[in-house]
Structure formats: C-alpha cells, structure tokens
Amino acid sequence: MEPDVAPLATLAQIQETPSARDGIPSELEEDLRAYGAKLIQQAGVLLKQKQVAMSTAQVLFQRFWYTSSMEKYGIAEIGMGALYLASKLEECPLRMRDVINVYDVLIQRSRQSTSSRDFKYEPMSYFSQDYYDMKDILIIAEMQLLKRLGFDVHVTLPYGTLINYMRVLNLLEDTKACQMAWGYLNDALQTPVYAIYPIPVIVCASILLVIRHLKLEIPSSQEDSPSWWDLFDAPFEDVWLVANLVVRLYRPRSQSDQNRVMQLLTKKDVRRWLDENA
Amino acid sequence: MFVWNLIVVQGMGCYFASDHCSTRMTDQDQASSVARKRPKSVTTSDDEERLSKKLRLSQNPEDSKPSLKSKPIVASYAPAQRQSHPPIQTSRSVYSYERLNQIEEGSYGVVFRAKDKQTGEVVALKKLKLDEEKHGFPITALREINSLMTCRHENVVRIREVVVGDTLTQVFIVMDFIEHDLKTLLSLMPNPFLQSEIKTLTLQLLRAVNHCHSHWILHRDLKTSNLLMNNRGTIKVADFGLARRFGDPVGVGGMTQLVVTLWYRAPEILLGAETYSTPIDIWSVGCIFGELLLHEPVFQAKGELEMIGLIFKLLGPPTVEDWPDFEDLPLTRTLNIPPPHPPTLRQKFPYLTASGIDLLSSMLTYDPELRTSAEQALHHPYFTESPLPKHPDLFPSFPSLAAGEKRRKAFESPSAPQRAKGQTEYDYV
C-alpha cells in the first residue's frame, strides 16, 4: 500500500490552535467545530449531495482551523465554502445559488432556535443584495480555504479502509456492526480527528467502539500475541483517544451550551462573545 | 553537429517524491496495510518528538473504558505514523520568488522562469487565469493542482507548491524548471532521435502514463509540447490542465468530448463517444511514438473530418469485426466510409522493426477495449530487442530555449598570419 499523503496538523498546531491563541476556549472551539461540521452534513442532505462530498468538506473544514482562527473566519461561511469546494473535488459540483439558499435556511433556523416560536423561514428574493453578499462571502471562503490549506486539498476518506478491515476481522457479514462502524466514522467528522490522525487509527477506533457496543468477541489482548489493532498498524493509545473524542460528542449538554454555538455562526458573533466574556 | 552544452540548473535533481503518492480509490484493493514503507519525514523534528512524549496519555488498555468525561483534546502522538504526512500549512507569497523570464503564454495562463529567493533554486511559475470566474475557483485548475499532487513520479513534472499574490485572483503553481519541451526540441534538433533514444523516451512516457492511470487520473492532453525534457535524458509529463479523476465505471454524468489536441485525439472521441477512459491517453502515446520516429506529427489535420480521414488512410477504415461498437457511435452514420483497404503503417514507417510496428499498431488500435494498456505496452518485446534503450545519462544535451540560451556560434578561429604590407618578399627574420 502506498503511503497516505493527506496532510495532518503538527504538534505545535494541535497544542495551541490559532483560535486558542485568539482567546477562544478549547471547549468552545470544539463545540463550534462540531456544529459547523454538522451544518455541512445537513446542507449536504438537503442538497441531496453524495456523502463523499460532505465527508471531504468536513475534513477540509476541520483542517482549516489548524491554520486559521475562528475570530477571523466564521464557521458558517467556511462550512459553506468547504461544501462548495469539496463538491468540485469529488466531481459532483453544486450550483452556487443552491448552496447559498440551503445555508440561508440553516442559518435562519439556528438564529431562531432560542425563540419559543415555531421556525419560520423567509426566503431571500432572487436578485436581493443579500444574495450577492452571500455569493461574495462564498467565493472568498472557498479561496481562503485553498489559500490557508496551501492548496493541498487531498483528502483520504475512511470508508474503503473500513470495508477491508471488517473483511479481515470477519465482520463483513455482520450488517449491524458494519452500519454502526460506518456511522461512527461519519460522526467522527465532527471532531478534529481526521486532521490529526491517519486513517487506519480512525477506522480502528470506530471498530473498537462497535466491538464494545455490540459486545463482539474478537481475538485480542492475549499476552504474547498481537492484538487486532496491531494488525492495522494503529497504536492503541491513539485508537483509544480517537474513540474517546467520538464518544465525547454524545455526552449530555446543558441547554445553554447547546444554544451558545447556534448564535456564534459568524466571526462577528464570535468577536462579540469574546468581548462579553473577556 | 551538436554543440554539447553542459548546463546544470539548480533545483532540478529532486526526484525523491516518486514513491510518495497516494490514492483514495485503490484503498479497496489493498486489504493488508500491514508493514507499509514510510519515507523519511520532511517535517517532524526532534522537538516534536520530545513534545510528543510529554503529551502522550498514559492509558491502560485493560482497565479503562471510553468515558464521557475525558479531558478536552490533547494529542497522543505516534511520531512514526505521522512522518509520512505533510503538515497543514498556508500558501506562501509569490514574492518568495524572483521573476527571471517569461517562458510561454497559453490559453490557460503564463509561465515564468523564477528563482527561489531563499534557496536560489530555479523553478517554473505558472500563473492561473482566474479573472471573470462565475463559479468560484475553476474546477479545471483544481483538477490540475490535485492531479499533479496525486501523480508524483519521476516522469511527471514535480509540483513544489502553490503560491498566491496580493489579490485573490493571483495564484501560481510552482514546478521544477525543465529545460526543453519535446516539440520545440524536435523542431530545433538537426537529426532525429536514434532508435535507442526513442525507446528510452517512449518507456519513460509509458511509465508516467501508467502511474497516472493507476492513480485514477486521465491526462487527456498528451502531446509533444506537453512533454518536457531535461538535459539528462529524462522526460516529464506536464500540463495537467485537462486532467481529471475517473472511476470504474468511468464518469458519473458523462465527460466532455472537448479533450485532447486534435492531432492526438483518439477515434472514439472524434466519433462522439459519451464515455471514454484510459485508452484515449494510449492513443496519444501512440501518436507521440510515431512522431518521434517520423520527426513530424503523424496526423496533421486541419479539422476533425480530415483527421478521421487521415486515420482511415493510415490504419484502413474500421470494420465491425475489429471494432464492434463502431456502428453505434453517434457520428458514425454521418461519415462516408471509404472502401476497405489494409493499413499503410509499413509504408509510413519503412525503417521500423516488426515488433516496433506491432507496438505502434497495438497503441493505434481502433477498438478502445482492444487497445493495449500502458502496463502491457511497458513489457512489449520492442523494448528488449536490439538496439536496447539508451541510458538517460548518455543522451546529448541541448541549449535551452526556455532559459534563454542560444546555440554557441562556430569558433571564429584566427586565420593564419599574413604578411604585413610593405615587407619585402625575402624577409626570413
């Protein structure tokens, strides 16, 4: 197998992200990353886009925050740019207007999430200034993604690797296990793991979660024989950490925590929050 | 007579990246990812390793379970695994380079020769045309950059980085500077390449094409002006401006028929096929092979109809036997098909050996299904019969037009001493 050349963050970047340097607490950054990625997935579903494009977009989105700060770029604009860019990369380009309309819905829905009224969507008119503003934002966001990632937008997706590993572990027939592992891989897109770990580690983490969840029996942890993750070249502590990061997504959150990210979609929102909480 | 000109341009001898490639689609073929080779890192330093030890979480696999309350992200770190991955980094500015001279200007943009201010290496800068884009960053430019990054190979021009200017419309691809392109070289060379040299060049070209195809990239514009050649007998495939990824089955939603320069265009595209794949690149390789032998392009047509006519003339018109799909192609019915006659390859290439003719006709086969693949062609007996391919180091070198070099003038050697005027004829002193 040829080595995977997808770029990964350096230790220095992981230790102190650009957002952290601008005073954004790591927990908030984590939440914003997760929410931004979720928006990409939702927009993709609404646009009936292929999952490969959504996944690629989310990986680019996660990478972006290792070179750029959330104080300078908003998660909505970058997410929108990432989805638009990834659709070109995966040879299934989207119309700019469709992307903008869908993001407009999602942004309005987030904004209204705190009010008690039912969600009411007001579409923008065809030639409105809002549309042209959004269009400029989208073009600039796409360009910034390219520029701030050094144009290295090569993304390796985990799905093929998962199928191989499941086959090696004789789990390919177990539809439930496969489905679940696939789901964990998709959920992991909301965490930064695709920007900090190579694919085998992430795939092993998803399998580990499935094995524990379904209480499957798999030869491992014998004193003298190697465990199954060794077979796939994944160090256990890395696998363990990725599994933890994924599981963290499901922890119970307070209502205020959940509402907070929905109001911080743009850099202006984030700056205001920083001023208020300084 | 060649003037042997020994030019060594700095920054050209870097081929280390050849085995440093990846693909996302071939993953499925390779079930065992155990024990992969890892090239040495460019990025990980000792400092990082030290940090990594500090950061490593000491979790015991036996007695712990994934917990909901684990600490926020710190990284455990496997330096060995990380080494093969490049870091995430932003684009540098174009001002890191000093502009030297303009090499060429095409429809896609301008190419400059430039010097890296830090290292002094000479590189080629290709400026992308981005003005008046209605759909954001052009997908063709994305494909070009991505293909170049995916297809790193000794015989593919090496992309170093992508740099940006002051505004969002200034983007430059930085590549190794290579002295010649094969088209200009062929037109300036006084003598055609020798058989042994043609074998070396064709082999290199086939290796590059094989590499691209195995990484699911179609080049779609192979021709002599897109083949660069250095002064050490190595050619590099360049200009991936029309390249794109393909799948199996080929493309979702079809692919454009506006590909490949006319003279190198395969018959299935000329006849309007809606899907095409790797065989179109092989046809182009066949045309290039023929061009090296003839010292001029094989099919020099002015329009598509004339092109089809020339192909029919050289290979004989296709029959349903040798190309079953021929009759179903959209444009076939619009053609007047001449009466059948045998191929005239032998007359056109009188000095080529029988196996050479066999290789050429296997690449210029009508039916894309039956056309040879790059991998098969690499093992063709033509390359193992005498004369054997010449070692690249033994190739002659030429003055580089792109670097602004000129052929040295013949010596003006001083003439024999002449008798000074006014001296007497019997002056023996």
Residues A125 and A262 in one domain: yes
User: With a CB-CB cutoff of 8 Å, which residues 91-150 of chain B face chain A?
Assistant: 91, 135-137, 139, 142, 145-146, 149-150
- Closest chain B residue to the Cα of A64, Cα to Cα: B88
A22 plus A142 within the same structural domain: yes
- Across the interface, which of B73, B78, B86 has its CB nearest the CB of A152? B86
ipTM, two decimals, is 0.88
Residue B194's pLDDT band, with cuts at 50, 70 and 90, is very high
* β-sheet bridge partners, residue B97: B116
Residues A103 and A42 both lie in one domain: yes
Q: Is residue A230 part of a domain?
A: yes
Query: How many separate domains does chain A show?
Result: 2
Q: Does some domain include residue A12?
A: no
- Catalytic residue list of B: 221
Chain A residues whose CB is inside 8 A of the B84 CB are: 3-5
Average pLDDT value for chain B = 78
- The predicted-structure confidence for A238-273, as pLDDT tens digits, reads as follows 899 999 999 999 999 888 888 889 999 999 999 999
Can you list the alpha helix ranges (DSSP code H) found in A120-198? 129-148, 159-168, 175-188, 193-196
B139: nearest CB among A93, A160, A248: A93
H/E run at residue A244: helix A236-248
Sign of the four-CA dihedral A258, A260, A263, A267: negative
- Separation of alpha carbons B85 and B235, rounded Å: 28
Mean pLDDT calculated for residue range A134-156: 93
**B242/A132 Cα distance (integer angstroms):** 31
B393 — pLDDT class (breaks 50, 70, 90): confident
Amino acid at A83: L
Residue A71 sits in the same domain as residue A130:
yes
Instruction: Burial-class residue A63 by CB neighbours within 10 Å (0-12, 13-18, 19+).
Output: buried
Task: Assess whether A215 and A260 both reside in one domain.
Answer: no
Mean per-residue pLDDT, B117-146: 88
H/E run at residue B218: strand B217-218
Q: Do A132 and A263 have their domain in common?
A: yes
How much is the pTM? Answer: 0.81
Do residues A48 and A168 both lie within one domain?
no
In a domain, A115, yes or no: yes
Within this chain, do residues A150 and A207 fall inside the same structural domain, yes or no?
A: no
Place of tokens 């052929």: B407
Residues of chain B contacting A161 with CB distance shorter than 8 Å = 27, 33
B113 DSSP β-pair partners: B101, B124
Give pLDDT tens digits for B202-213: 999 999 999 999
Q: How far is A120 from chain B (nearest CA, A)?
A: 30
Which residue is it, tokens 């920083």? A274
Phi, psi angles (nearest 5°) of residue B246: -135, 165
Cβ A143–B35 below 8 Å, yes or no? no
CATH code of the domain in which A131 resides? 1.10.472.10
Domain assignment present for residue A191? The answer is: yes
Q: How many helices (H) and strands (E) does chain B have?
A: 11, 10
Alpha-carbon distance values, B141 to A5, B144, B154, B177, B247 (Å): 20, 5, 22, 20, 20
User: A-chain residues within 8 Å CB-CB of B73?
Assistant: 14, 26, 30, 192, 245
Gap between the Cα atoms of B254 and B212, Å rounded: 20
Q: Check whether B383 has a pLDDT greater than 90.
A: yes
Range of the domain at A223: 159-248
The two most distant CA atoms of chain A are separated, in Å, by: 69
Rg of chain A over Cα atoms, rounded to whole angstroms, equals: 20
Percent of chain A residues past pLDDT 70, beyond the cut: 96
CA distance linking residue B23 with residue B189, whole number of Å = 39
Q: Where do the DSSP E strands lie in B38-178?
A: 97-105, 109-116, 122-128, 159-164, 171-176
Least reliable range by pLDDT among B130-139, B390-399, B413-422? B413-422
Assess if residue A8 is contained within a domain. Answer: no
Q: Which amino acid is at B111?
A: V
CA distances A143 to A129, B130, B172, B401, Å, are 21, 11, 13, 35
Q: What percent of chain A has pLDDT over 90?
A: 69
The reported pLDDT for the residue numbered B286 is 96
Yes or no, beta carbons of B87 and A167 under 8 Å apart: no
Phi-psi category of residue B141: left, alpha or beta, with phi > 0 → left and psi -120 to 50 → alpha: alpha
Listed residue (A150, A156, A169) closest to A199, CA to CA: A156
Whole-number Å distance between alpha carbons of A198 and A5? 9
Same domain? For A76 and A97 the reply is: yes
**Residue A1 in domain:** no
- Give the Cα separation of B24 and B7 in Å (integer): 39
**Same domain membership, residue A34 and residue A61:** yes
User: Does residue A261 form part of some domain?
Assistant: yes
CB atoms A150 and B90 under 8 Å:
yes
Option in A11, A67, A89 nearest B75 (CB): A11
Residue among A10, A151, A251 whose CB faces B87 most closely: A10
What are the residues facing B171 on neighbouring strands? B164
Asked whether residue A80 falls in the same domain as residue A212, the answer is: no
Mean pLDDT, rounded, for B346-358? 93
Using CA atoms, how far apart are residues B228 and B182, in angstroms rounded to an integer? 6
Whether residues A211 and A141 fall in one domain:
no
Query: Which tokens in the block code for residue B147?
Result: 């293909």
Q: CA of B140, closest CA in chain A: separation in Å?
A: 9
Q: Tell which B residues from 164 to 183 touch A, by Cβ distance under 8 Å.
A: 164, 168, 171
**pLDDT > 80? residue B40:** no
CB burial of B192-201 (b: ≥16 within 10 Å; e: otherwise) equals ebebebbbbb
Q: What is the average per-residue pLDDT within A198-209? A: 93
Which chain A residues have a beta carbon less than 8 Å from that of B245?
Answer: 91
A192 contact residues in B (CB cutoff 8 A): 73
Domains of chain B: 94-176 (3.30.200.20), 180-394 (1.10.510.10)
Whether A232 is covered by a domain: the verdict is yes
